[in-house]
Structure 1
């Protein structure tokens, strides 16, 4: 009945997962590109992690991803991870069409059958992907079994790509000491965030127009109230917006204002208040109550949403992995002085809230880059800062730059300051990681040091980093199967390799072992992240303890 009142042809916030209602924001396109890369290009056989609050559209995003799979991809989708390791393996095999007769309940026969299937698929040029939704519900034993599946490989290629999708609790789980081996294998991370206020309005307009509406019924103040009451969570936006439309029909209004949204939110979001509030009883007048009851039963609730963005974020079409070789040409502004690290920064204030510190930032991102240049004692002033900010491969002779997506654990292992890209209330912000320990991180933020609880970094950091490292002899490291020279001698010494000083199959195998132990992509290629970790003993500033 309210559909005719607002000139609609169908409910705009219905629960049916209709692809026509998909709302792709910039942030959400970034997440979709992130997952698509994990399937089409792969992450070296590691894990791809997607997290987000309840109602931000993770599962719906997964469904959209499945509709866009390359033809050579086979997917095992696990929707109920509350199972034992044996049951998990059975589910994976069943999803891939593997016969489990006589193997059920026994891990080794199931793994053997899966390995045979993966080898056959590899020979046919197929990519096999395991997607686990609601991964925060996996037990420790099941997570460990999932990790062991990444050991299924040929001499040159991992056979299974794994995508973990879950609530923010998943990040906390993977930060545990007993799961560090799995966490180190995560090669790409992405965190979905709620909608901003402008995006909430765009989301409402999009769904209303798709449902046949010709004018936006929600006033600007109403949109602001919907965003404030729901926190930008799309599922809650659907609930409140649907109830507000019902209220508008009851009161014969074609425009939904802020007071009406307030009462709708009280009715929809606070069930205790709804059960006892006399105001709620007065809201629906008796003559209209019976008329809208049936509509409320079939129309109230959660609609499909597939857009999560942070205001000011830009879409990313390229892959983001632990190791990324940036583009650019070497420059030579002058010799580098890397004898000793400069004096430490002033003692930061007591640990506070990162969100509050980001809210105070004035949007000038140059402070973090200037501090990184100062720590490395680079000549050239603003010119050097510009080259570092652009991540030229060799910003000055003897110094290299690496940029990509990684974890705090990996940065701690490399032990170098790194510029982290965060999402602040006013848009993207660059901060310099100065130090970290088990409880806190020390950041150079907006011109000064600040120490904050380590757990506050994860919600605003998706793993993007830029780092400098000093390794003069690696600048011309040969990558062919055979090669020798000073750079190979350096690599051999760093790896502790007992073989001949030639970059051959044996040394490449030793490099792969090193990469596995340090949570890097085990591709046998000394890329930027690998070389920076190998160079941790060279001159240059190191991370400080936060005490």
Structure 2
């Protein structure tokens, strides 16, 4: 409808998969590297998870382009089937003949095993790709595990790639699936596009559709792109939907560029009259989600990270309170059975904002049973180091914090001010915060609407650890690491005579990192230490009730 108006040759933001519009972000390239690593390893399962629309299928298409010609591939697009139906689908995809009307799982398995052996003898490999894997039942997953039992002395004869939504990771964490989970040789969780990646993504699609770079920059000003990232959360599919609707709005109003007002209207049309909170946050918290977080994004008064530097810019003056809000926030039942509204995130007026850092750090260290009060403006990492602790500064989202499972310091941007709070507990869609010395129960949606993803958390280093451990190093810490990995794997530990971080131990660390969703670089740094502590059940304070 609007193509001629903008001088476009085709619709730039169609959600149909078109290889000409392929855009690989850093996260997509990392995900592809994990899949390639898994395919080229000894076999078994390779896992790629991510929210709807983040590009799992795109990564899988790139993988197929890199597979050699001697590789046979079967696709399973609808895994919500019985074991027999799944085996029949695999046979159909690989053109494996079986008796008509067959109802026997054994017949299917025997035919598949024979096919795998014949393929291996001919120097060919077999890969099964299963999309929407979160829909697989436990019984079907067990059948898949049994399929991978066929192997030579060096490798398995069948490799299975599983594409699923984030909840699939929780399914695989169940006790009855521990054998299945242990066979995953590579895993990666695909995150949405970062701000600058999303900017490049939008311009890339416009240019493929026939628009010059200068024209695409004028069509989507930087201020609008920042709001677009907040609304879409960098999820490519949502970026496409919002951009397409925004261009339609520009055409309908006979303007030349997307404005904040047009983008807000596009969001209302995409998400409904009362839009869901930013898709980037990707945490549906059920009925009764507060529209405060929604208004904070849809209204112009939202604070966004300026990808060009370390700082934060206030990009608009309109307050979230300008939007009508008539839904109650999520609450919890009190002893009388009545719903109690969650607390507000705002800074207490009776406390000086310049004390926020000290009060947040005090609240965090209280979880370590340390009754200390840092001075205002104290650097948290330097302060905790004096107490024998270490800190990690990083960026992420609430899923990142859930995985690390440690209390953390967050910086909140609200009402044209910023201040620090301590995240000390996490339970579903609610969080326990220390705000200005007060502990509050706050909706996760409210926090995410005013948080840019930066966090600082505290942990304790193990004995003899002297800094990042790199492959090839000789370090006394290697002895502790080797023993702990043996404990995690449930095997007997054979004492080492030399503290060499050799290739065998590096590979064990890489497998552990993959199993915990970390970059499998073999470098033992802060995140790997924290995950080792989680796996060993360390007594450090946790965010989750389960880890407490």
Give the TM-score band, short-chain normalised.
0.5 to 0.7
After superposition, give the CA deviation of every residue in 1:417-443 in whole Å (9 maximum; x if it has no partner). Answer: x95665xxxxxxx753463379xx769
Whether the aligned pair in 2 keeps the contact of 1:49 and 1:164 (CA below 8 Å) is yes
Task: Find the counterpart in structure 1 of residue 23 from structure 2.
Answer: 23
1:47, distance to aligned residue in structure 2 (A): 1.0
After superposition, give the CA deviation of every residue in 1:445-502 in whole Å (9 maximum; x if it has no partner). Answer: xxxx6522289xxxxxxxxxxxxxxxxxxxxxxxxxxxxxxxxxxxxxxxxxxxxxxx
Whether the aligned pair in 2 keeps the contact of 1:21 and 1:210 (CA below 8 Å) is yes
Q: How does 1:97-496 map to 2 (within 5 A)?
A: 97-102=95-100, 104-214=102-212, 215-216=215-216, 217-270=219-272, 348=368, 357=408, 359=410, 372=461, 375-377=462-464, 385=467, 388-396=468-476, 398-401=498-501, 402-403=505-506, 404-407=509-512, 419=524, 432-433=530-531, 435-436=533-534, 450-453=541-544
| C-alpha spacing 1:29/1:408, structure 2 compared with 1 (3 Å) | closer
1:346, distance to aligned residue in structure 2 (A): 10
Whether the aligned pair in 2 keeps the contact of 1:94 and 1:100 (CA below 8 Å) is no
1:363, distance to aligned residue in structure 2 (A): 8.9
1:191 partner SS: strand
Find out whether 1:96 has 2:94 as its counterpart: yes
- 2:112 and 2:532 mapped to 1: Cα distance? 45
- 1:36 and 1:454 mapped to 2: Cα distance? 36
2:542 partner SS: strand
Q: Could you tell me the TM-score, scaled by structure 2's length? A: 0.58
- 1:129 and 1:392 mapped to 2: Cα distance? 34
| C-alpha spacing 1:63/1:273, structure 2 compared with 1 (3 Å) | closer
| C-alpha spacing 1:63/1:25, structure 2 compared with 1 (3 Å) | same
1:165 partner SS: strand
After superposition, give the CA deviation of every residue in 1:393-433 in whole Å (9 maximum; x if it has no partner). Answer: 4335732434443358979xxxxxx95665xxxxxxx7534
Task: Find the counterpart in structure 1 of residue 36 from structure 2.
Answer: 36
1:226, distance to aligned residue in structure 2 (A): 0.9
2:533 partner SS: strand
- 1:267 and 1:359 mapped to 2: Cα distance? 32
| C-alpha spacing 1:154/1:21, structure 2 compared with 1 (3 Å) | same
Equivalent residue pairs, number: 357
After superposition, give the CA deviation of every residue in 1:271-327 in whole Å (9 maximum; x if it has no partner). Answer: 6779xxxxxxxxxxxxxxxxxxxxxxxxxxxxxxxxxxx999xxxxxxxxxxxxxxx
| C-alpha spacing 1:432/1:258, structure 2 compared with 1 (3 Å) | same
- 1:231 and 1:109 mapped to 2: Cα distance? 47
- 2:52 and 2:457 mapped to 1: Cα distance? 35
1:80, distance to aligned residue in structure 2 (A): 0.7
After superposition, give the CA deviation of every residue in 1:64-123 in whole Å (9 maximum; x if it has no partner). Answer: 322332111111111110111011111111111110125732111111111111111111
- 1:46 and 1:454 mapped to 2: Cα distance? 33
Whether the aligned pair in 2 keeps the contact of 1:419 and 1:433 (CA below 8 Å) is no
| C-alpha spacing 1:80/1:114, structure 2 compared with 1 (3 Å) | same
Whether the aligned pair in 2 keeps the contact of 1:244 and 1:264 (CA below 8 Å) is yes
Task: Find the counterpart in structure 1 of residue 3 from structure 2.
Answer: 3
1:49 partner SS: strand
Whether the aligned pair in 1 keeps the contact of 2:469 and 2:524 (CA below 8 Å) is no
Q: Could you tell me the TM-score, scaled by structure 1's length? A: 0.58
Unaligned runs of 5+ in 1: 275-309, 313-344, 379-383, 412-417, 423-429, 444-448, 456-545
1:435 partner SS: helix
Whether the aligned pair in 2 keeps the contact of 1:365 and 1:431 (CA below 8 Å) is no
| C-alpha spacing 1:64/1:437, structure 2 compared with 1 (3 Å) | closer
1:377, distance to aligned residue in structure 2 (A): 3.1
Task: Find the counterpart in structure 1 of residue 431 from structure 2.
Answer: none
Task: Find the counterpart in structure 2 of residue 78 from structure 1.
Answer: 76
After superposition, give the CA deviation of every residue in 1:167-216 in whole Å (9 maximum; x if it has no partner). Answer: 01110110011111101111111000111222221111110111111212
Whether the aligned pair in 2 keeps the contact of 1:219 and 1:258 (CA below 8 Å) is no
1:20, distance to aligned residue in structure 2 (A): 0.8
Task: Find the counterpart in structure 1 of residue 52 from structure 2.
Answer: 54
Whether the aligned pair in 2 keeps the contact of 1:50 and 1:192 (CA below 8 Å) is yes
